[in-house]
Amino acid sequence: MSISVNNISKSFKGKTALKNISFEVKKGELFGLIGPDGAGKTTLFRILTTLLIPNHGEATVVDFDIIKDYKSIRNNVGYMPGRFSLYQDLTVKENLEFFATIFGTTIEKNYDLIKDIYVQIEPFKDRRAGKLSGGMKQKLALCCALIHKPKVLFLDEPTTGVDPVSRKEFWEMLKRLQNKGITMLVSTPYMDEAAICDRIALIQDGEMLEIDTPKKIVKHYSKTIYNVKANNMYQLIKSLKSYQHNYSVYPFGEFVHYTDTRTDFSPIDLQHYLTSKNLKNISIEITQATIEDTFMELAK
């Protein structure tokens, strides 16, 4: 196991941030921690990277204990925090050299690992880090977290606030790193990114809701979901919410995902009801559950 977490709890001034968290990440795995802002993701990262001590529980990272062996962990992991934390007044190259030096290595020695990413920012190597665009900063931060060839890489919300194109590219980079044998724990609030991970943990309010592969997680969703569409989205949502048999009503792109409380639900009844509410061009079709549906059901 690369990461093993056993009953970790942490609270701040009486406010619980993590409640009895347990999970394992296998060697070479790309493991996703999926949950909204405030779920406890960053606290968990800070505990595993030995920056915080938990109130209860134990954890090991690359077989080192997070409390007793904290120095060994620091030498063996890379951490890319959610907030840009490189030196803004050092240049791109200076930042990278700095991180290589404090880990007792050189850029040349591990260049192979960062090459793909570094070539994209190399044209700006003499620019100060504070003057880089968001995407560039992110790539530099990743290079700095990798320069000592860590066994495990911790990435805390690397794609938050990043546009869909750059997000896709970033995950492709992570996939390539995985092929080079690096174990990764990545957190994100974007549910669509979960599908790229080998396994994911859904986390909310400091608790793990579910841990499994993305494919299996959606199978845990037991209800039949219908894609409902009509000419007026706002009226549609309002009407579905006031329908007495509704179990859940969530807008989902161009559709509304609807589930019913009855086991013998017939879409025709719903069609009649919506027609009576003056909606037009109504369509109701069965659809597959997504990770987001599962998350909302578990978090309900």
Whose CA is closest to 224, among 191, 263, 274?
263
Cα separation, 267 vs 244, in Å, equals 14
Q: Counting Cβ atoms within 10 Å, is residue 210 exposed (0-12), middle (13-18) or buried (19+)?
A: middle
Q: Write out the residues near other proteins by the rule CB under 8 A.
A: 35-39, 133-135, 157, 160-168, 189-192, 204, 233-234, 237, 250-254, 292, 295-296, 299-300
Instruction: For the CB of residue 266, give the shortest distance to other proteins in the complex, in Å.
Output: 26
- CA distance linking residue 85 with residue 145, whole number of Å: 11
Nearer to other proteins, 36 or 123 (CB): 36
Between 57 and 135, whose beta carbon lies closer to other proteins? 135
Q: Which residues, in sequence order, are bridge partners of residue 58?
A: 6
CB nearer to other proteins: pick between 173 and 296: 296
Minimum Å distance from CB 100 to other proteins? Answer: 28
In the complex, the smallest distance separating the C-beta of residue 126 from other proteins, rounded to whole angstroms, is 19
Mode of pairing for the β-strands spanning 183-188 and 30-34: parallel
Q: Which is nearer to other proteins, 13 or 215 (CB)?
A: 13
Q: How far is the CB of 188 from other proteins (least distance, A)?
A: 10
Select from 192, 195, 193, 174 the least CA-distant residue to 184.
174
Q: Pick the closer one to other proteins by CB: 38 or 181.
A: 38
Q: How far is the CB of 65 from other proteins (least distance, A)?
A: 32
Of 36 and 181, nearer to other proteins (C-beta) is: 36
Distance CA 59, CA 4 (A): 5
* Radius of gyration, CA atoms only, the chain: 23
Residue that has been written with the tokens 């505990």 in this structure:
47
Smallest separation, CB 248 to other proteins (Å): 10
